[in-house]
Amino acid sequence: MPKDGGIGASTKRREDMRFLTGKGRYTDDINIRGQVHAHFLRSDVAHGRINGIDLSAAEAMPGVLRILTAADFAAVGGIPCGWQVTDRHGQVMQEPKHPVLADGKVRHVGDPIAMIIAETYEQARDAAEAVLVDITELTPVLDMKAALAEGAVKVHDDLTSNLCYDWGFVEENKAAVDAAFAKAAHVTTLELVNNRLVANPMEPRVAVGDFESHSDQYTLYTTSQNPHVIRLLMGAFVLGIPEHKLRVVAPDVGGGFGSKIYHYAEEAAVTFAARLVGRPVKWTSSRSEAFISDAHGRDHVTKIELALDDENNFTALRTDTYANMGAYLSTFAPSIPTWLHGTLMAGNYKTPLIYVNVKAVFTNTVPVDAYRGAGRPEATFQLERLVDKAARELGVDPVDLRRQNFITPDMFPYQTPVAVVYDTGNYQATMDKLLEISDHAGFEARRAESATRGKLRGFGIAHYIEACGIAPSNLVGQLGARAGLYESATVRVNATGSISVYTGSHSHGQGHETSFAQVVAEMIGIDANQIDIVHGDTSNTPMGMGTYGSRSLAVGGSAIVKATNKIINKAKKIAAHLLEASEADIELKDGKFAVAGTDKSVDWAGVTLAAYVPHNYPLESLEPGLEETAFYDPSNFTYPSGAYGCEVEVDPDTGKVQVLSFAAADDFGNIVNPMIVEGQVQGGLAQGIGQALLENCAYDGNGQLLSGSFMDYAMPRADDLPMFTVDHSCITPCTHNPLGVKGCGEAGAIGSPPAVVNAVIDALQRAGHAHVTHIDMPVTPARVWAAMNG
Amino acid sequence: MTKVTMTVNGKTVSADTEGRTLLSSFLRDGLGMTGTHIGCDTSQCGACLVHVDGKAVKSCSVFAQEVAGAQVRTIEGMANADGSLSVIQQAFQDHHGLQCGFCTPGMVMSAAALLAENPKPTEHEVRHYLEGNLCRCTGYHNIVKAVLAASGQDVSGLGVAAE
Ligand code: FES
Ligand code: FES
């Protein structure tokens, strides 16, 4: 049994106390004395030339302090992109300018044109209606394939085309892959769409800029997953503010799912404007505004092919993907369809030859970037739908075809043909576990029962792998990242033994304040309540890269372990001095330092007090105090994996799909807080099922966002989902981080969409609709009905 | 500007309002009670849900002036008199019914309204009732569990693999 509050315990979350009583402090809860309000006037056309902006009437409106347009930002930089991809011909990607406010052209509905600053939010909004923008509408670029046609209208006039890059991976393997297809016994082909999604954390984005003229100090309060990244990007690349004059604070953050990683124009605008108007400037996004200004996710159009030999072994895989970048390059956008997608195309299989082609395309739509899973859901969806289709074409059980081609436990570490090396895993074990927890053996009986009610029951399976804990800095540097991806921690032990841990990771719902404290409590053997986790403020935390890609425990937690080990080593030296023993004989157990084999000991508080009141202390060889900082740069990604099973019922009259049960058997390596891990998986499953059945970000032919509010964008609701069965007892610990953890934040959203769609196809095929081999997401009643009756 | 007075969590309070001031902004901006959250602009998410004269109301869907004189209860008024968590709040913590906490005030207020109406709801009834409260983090599993647990029902078998 894990100790309460230690590693492995389902410790209840300490942050809940404030969230449950209305005392959470989110960015919109911050109001600074003298603050004024900003509202952004946004383009209502997808593509247009700005001929002129007349501010005169608006400037005369009550309460208006200042209205900014692109001209006011002429001296500052544009919004930078953090990753440069090199294409298959050795060319770097085309990188368009991304001005803070639209300059000359508007490129998507929602592109900000003017920033109205007024005493109140209502006055700013009222004045926006009086701004006259003269725009000549241009033909919008929407369809990715058409966008690449010769002579197509260009989103960016100064680029040679709408192609951002044409990426091939691994380019040297292309000929061998084609040759393997030429002699395949069977080829399965699938064309599919990975639907565009909106992350929709329940807290909309907010930014409050403040400037103190007496100290030349800027502060930005923002809804961010990574305040240091925002400080670096905005300070160095946009506004030219040195880091020591810029503090970025992200207080409690109400969900992110990727959408709060990026540096957004509004953050730079409020910070810039705060100095200009001499007052703190606050902007709060409305939900409708979020739909047209938060980065979207997914949006791939793919053709994928699998070659098999006459014994059903996978011999080669080939994919051809168009990835929508939207109108500008968001912070990490170029890396998502490439390094976070192509490198996962091996899945759990020993396919020896793989070639991935990705064409990234500019369109007149909102920029697309990472959304929970980021590239890995796209890879998993293609692969797991394809393998399912192959099994059905070959008349073999989809479970058996997977098992036959799985990388086996004796093959680790496993070098895939797409660059990455999986350290551990046991896919047969997770598959076995799934079949057990989903009561697969009882499926036929349940299907028969559904049939008596006129319903078509189906079971769908998917097995995923993902790469988390991004990432070795030198590796990602070679791949085009313009940042390092280490993590940091400072462990500050106070004189009486309590501890403040300052981490560069930042929770936006993951419960770091609880689970990180568990790690330190376990290592030192003291009560977790003596440990506080501090995050989200660049003024007191060491430079960190933030929370995304399921990296916080694997990378941030490892930095905490490293810093805590430094603390323990120093504390042992102090204890050795106090106990007049050799350091090598000092053992730390349950918060006590003892001399091995004796009953001599000093407790934790005795050592910490000596560190800060160093009267009896080896001052000649040891500095006083007990505070250590560590940076941890991972040596590899981590590779969580798992088997997911979904059971659905299809109503043949309406095409409506109901998810009856969903089971997940994950291997996350070691687990620090099982309760939190289960919650992460459940939340991910809801988002994945949402993508599969409900959610779709739809544009019309004019580039107007049709699903621009919660009225039109179908978020999963409580009555759309079943209870989930979640298991994480299959454990192959990560081999290269000190906790042996892999990360669990994205798995649910990665593994579930193919399981759901496979279940629908299974239901239809079992009911005799053999011609239905694929339905694009979201699998709506209309699409199912059309597939059955088409 | 019109001064509006009402009772919030047992205290008489007032603040200036425009005709268009929503109850949600009256609470947040007028009174500085930021426990009530705003998650949308189409009255769909339920993050702003409060009780008005004992009924669950999305505070973004009524004007402050419409509810002048009413008894309003918000998340800040849900804990026990001694500051400890109420049964529903405690159940949310015990069953990990919240992650980022943004939907939580609305969820707790909604759950309280449900249990006042229907003290022993079924899982289906809980899901149906909470349909107007969006949560992007939890997948609802643990919220449903928390509400059932708060109603005194045994939830140990929910979502656990059949042995
Ligand atoms: S803010 Fe009231 S329902 Fe969304
Ligand atoms: S806990 Fe984050 S939205 Fe519900």
- State pLDDT tens for residues A422-458: 999 999 999 999 999 999 999 999 999 999 999 999 9
- Co-location of A130 and A212 in the same domain: yes
Rama region for A511: left / alpha / beta (φ>0; ψ in -120 to 50; rest)? left
Question: How close B89 gets to chain A, by Cα (Å)?
Answer: 6
Assess whether pLDDT exceeds 90 at residue A5.
no
A20–B98 C-beta distance less than 8 A: yes
**Which parts of chain B fold into alpha helices (H)?**
23-25, 87-94, 104-117, 123-129, 141-150
Whether B134 contacts chain A with CB within 8 A? yes
What's the CA gap between A185 and B29, in Å, rounded?
A: 69
Q: Which residue, among A691, A362, A18, has the nearest Cα to B102 in the 3D structure?
A: A18
Helix-helix angle A747-766:A781-789, to 10 degrees:
30
- State pLDDT tens for residues A157-213: 999 999 999 999 999 999 999 999 999 999 999 999 999 999 999 999 999 999 999
When mean pLDDT is compared across A313-327, A472-486, B50-64, the lowest value belongs to A472-486
Tokens of A542: 């060491």
**How many structural domains is chain A composed of?**
3
Q: Is A777 within 8 Å of A460 (Cβ atoms)?
A: no
Q: Is B101 in the pocket of ligand 2 (CB under 6 A)?
A: yes
A12–B94 C-beta distance less than 8 A: yes
| Distances, alpha carbon A337 to alpha carbons A192, A208, A563, in Å | 15, 32, 35
B127–A255 C-beta distance less than 8 A: no
**Which parts of A376-501 fold into alpha helices (H)?**
376-394, 398-405, 427-437, 443-452, 473-478
What's the CA gap between A228 and A288, in Å, rounded?
A: 28
Choose one of A599, A632, A665: the last residue of a domain: A632
- E strands, A596-747, in order: 601-603, 627-632, 641-650, 657-667, 724-727
CB pairs under 8 A between A and B: 197
DSSP A548-597: -TT-IIIIIIHHHHHHHHHHHHHHHHHHHHHHTS-GGGEEEETTEEEETT
Q: B22, B23, B34, B44: which to mutate for ligand 1, most atoms within 8 A of CB?
A: B44
Q: How confident is the model at residue B1 (pLDDT cuts 50, 70, 90)?
A: confident
Question: How close A302 gets to chain B, by Cα (Å)?
Answer: 28
In the DSSP assignment, the letter for residue B26 is I
In the DSSP assignment, the letter for residue A92 is B
Residue-level length of chain A: 790
Q: Which residues pair with A659 in a beta bridge?
A: A648
Ligand 1-lining residues (CB < 6 angstroms): B 38-40, 43-48, 58, 60
Q: Could you tell me the CATH number of the domain that includes residue A509?
A: 3.30.365.10
How far, in Å, is the centroid of ligand 2 from the Cα of A756?
Answer: 23
Q: A20, A26, A202: which to mutate for ligand 2, most atoms within 8 A of CB?
A: A202
Residue owning the nearest CA to atom 4 of ligand 2: B135
- State pLDDT tens for residues A544-560: 999 998 899 999 999 99
Average pLDDT over residues A364-384: 97
A20–B92 C-beta distance less than 8 A: yes
A718–B126 C-beta distance less than 8 A: yes
Assess whether pLDDT exceeds 70 at residue A608.
yes
How far, in Å, is the centroid of ligand 1 from the Cα of B31?
Answer: 18
B78–A679 C-beta distance less than 8 A: no
Assess whether pLDDT exceeds 60 at residue A1.
no
B101–A15 C-beta distance less than 8 A: yes
Find tokens 């070959």 and name the residue: A394
- Co-location of A511 and A588 in the same domain: yes
Average pLDDT over residues A641-645: 98
Contacts A678 to B, Cβ<8 Å: 96
Between B77 and B156, residue with greater pLDDT = B77
Contacts B158 to A, Cβ<8 Å: 723
| Distances, alpha carbon A546 to alpha carbons A508, A512, A551, B113, B131, in Å | 10, 12, 8, 38, 33
- Co-location of A628 and A640 in the same domain: no
- Co-location of A220 and A313 in the same domain: no
Supply the range of the domain harboring residue A497.
Answer: 16-23+486-632
How far, in Å, is the centroid of ligand 2 from the Cα of A241?
Answer: 34
Q: Could you tell me the CATH number of the domain that includes residue A61?
A: 3.90.1170.50
Find tokens 């046991």 and name the residue: A426
- State pLDDT tens for residues A736-753: 999 999 999 999 999 999
Q: Is A202 in the pocket of ligand 2 (CB under 6 A)?
A: yes
The Cα angle at residue A319 between residues A643 and A706, in degrees rounded to 5: 80
Task: Classify residue A128: in a domain, yes or no.
Answer: yes
Task: Classify residue A63: in a domain, yes or no.
Answer: yes
Report chain A's mean pLDDT, rounded to a whole number. 97
- Co-location of A526 and A503 in the same domain: yes
Contacts B35 to A, Cβ<8 Å: 21-24
The overall pTM is greater than 0.90: yes
- Co-location of A287 and A424 in the same domain: no
Choose one of A632, A648, A665: the last residue of a domain: A632
Assess whether pLDDT exceeds 70 at residue A2.
no
A421: how many CB neighbours lie within 10 A of its CB?
A: 12
How far, in Å, is the centroid of ligand 2 from the Cα of A455?
Answer: 33
What's the CA gap between A30 and A27, in Å, rounded?
A: 5
Nearest to B159 among A20, A257, A724 (CB): A724
What's the CA gap between A766 and A768, in Å, rounded?
A: 5
Q: Determine the residue among A11, A19, A647 to mutate to test chain B binding: the one whose Cβ has the most chain B Cβ atoms within 10 Å.
A: A19
Q: Is A702 within 8 Å of A514 (Cβ atoms)?
A: no
Question: How close A437 gets to chain B, by Cα (Å)?
Answer: 5
Whether B74 contacts chain A with CB within 8 A? yes
- Co-location of A649 and A751 in the same domain: yes
Q: Please give the distance of CA A728 from its chain centroid, rounded to a whole number.
A: 21
Assess whether pLDDT exceeds 60 at residue A758.
yes
pLDDT number for residue B160: 60
Strands B2-8 and B71-73: parallel
The CATH class that applies to domain B87-150 reads: mainly alpha
- Co-location of A70 and A98 in the same domain: yes
Assess whether pLDDT exceeds 80 at residue B162.
no
pLDDT number for residue A147: 98
Fold match between domain B2-77 and domain B87-150: no
Q: How confident is the model at residue B163 (pLDDT cuts 50, 70, 90)?
A: very low
Task: Classify residue A321: in a domain, yes or no.
Answer: yes
Contacts A719 to B, Cβ<8 Å: 124, 127-128, 130-131
- E strands, chain B, in order: 2-8, 11-17, 49-52, 55-58, 71-73
Q: Is A742 within 8 Å of A667 (Cβ atoms)?
A: yes
Ligand that lies nearest to the alpha carbon of residue A24, given by its number in the listed order: 2
What's the CA gap between A410 and A421, in Å, rounded?
A: 14
Residue ranges covered by each domain of chain B: 2-77, 87-150
Q: How confident is the model at residue A471 (pLDDT cuts 50, 70, 90)?
A: confident
- Co-location of A304 and A410 in the same domain: yes
- State pLDDT tens for residues A253-273: 999 999 999 999 999 999 999
Q: Is B99 in the pocket of ligand 2 (CB under 6 A)?
A: yes
| Distances, alpha carbon A495 to alpha carbons A369, A541, A609, in Å | 45, 20, 5
Nearest to A202 among B39, B128, B131 (CB): B39
Choose one of A632, A650, A677: the last residue of a domain: A632
Sign of CA dihedral A403, A405, A406, A407: positive
Residue owning the nearest CA to atom 3 of ligand 2: B135
- Co-location of A308 and A282 in the same domain: no
Average pLDDT over residues A408-428: 97
Average pLDDT over residues A381-407: 98
Q: Which fold has domain B2-77?
A: Ubiquitin-like (UB roll) (3.10.20)
How far, in Å, is the centroid of ligand 1 from the Cα of A61?
Answer: 29
Assess whether pLDDT exceeds 60 at residue A42.
yes
pLDDT number for residue A550: 86
A709–B137 C-beta distance less than 8 A: no
Question: How close A291 gets to chain B, by Cα (Å)?
Answer: 11
Q: Determine the residue among B140, B145, B156 to mutate to test chain A binding: the one whose Cβ has the most chain A Cβ atoms within 10 Å.
A: B140
pLDDT number for residue B51: 98
Average pLDDT over residues A228-239: 95
Under DSSP, is residue A378 helix (H, G, I), strand (E, B) or coil?
helix
- State pLDDT tens for residues A664-687: 999 999 999 999 999 999 999 999
Whether B18 contacts chain A with CB within 8 A? yes
Ligand that lies nearest to the alpha carbon of residue B58, given by its number in the listed order: 1
Average pLDDT over residues A291-302: 98
Average pLDDT over residues A503-530: 95
Assess whether pLDDT exceeds 50 at residue A340.
yes
Task: Classify residue A657: in a domain, yes or no.
Answer: yes
Whether B153 contacts chain A with CB within 8 A? no
Average pLDDT over residues A3-9: 88
Tokens of A454: 């006129």
Ligand that lies nearest to the alpha carbon of residue B48, given by its number in the listed order: 1
A410: how many CB neighbours lie within 10 A of its CB?
A: 6
User: With pLDDT > 90 as the criterion, what percentage of chain A qualifies?
Assistant: 98
